[in-house]
Amino acid sequence: MVMPKLPPGERRSEPVFVLLRPRELQQVDKIAEKEGKSRAQVLRESFLDRHTQVDAP
């Protein structure tokens, strides 16, 4: 799988913390297990999908 690349100005070197309710965490875990990905990959892809949709004209 190829991860989308962010422009140099938008890259982050510091960790990003996400607060999830227990039910949200369960759903993320279900998606991760179903798709064979880590929890971090699911959250990263979700963020990038939403981020690129908002910026798209």
5-28 residue pLDDT tens: 777 777 766 777 889 999 999 999
What element of type H or E holds 52?
helix 39-55
Higher pLDDT, 47 or 36: 36
Amino acid at 46: S
In the chain, % of residues over pLDDT 90: 40
User: How far, in Å, CA of 54 to CA of 42, rounded?
Assistant: 18
Mean pLDDT of 36-46: 91
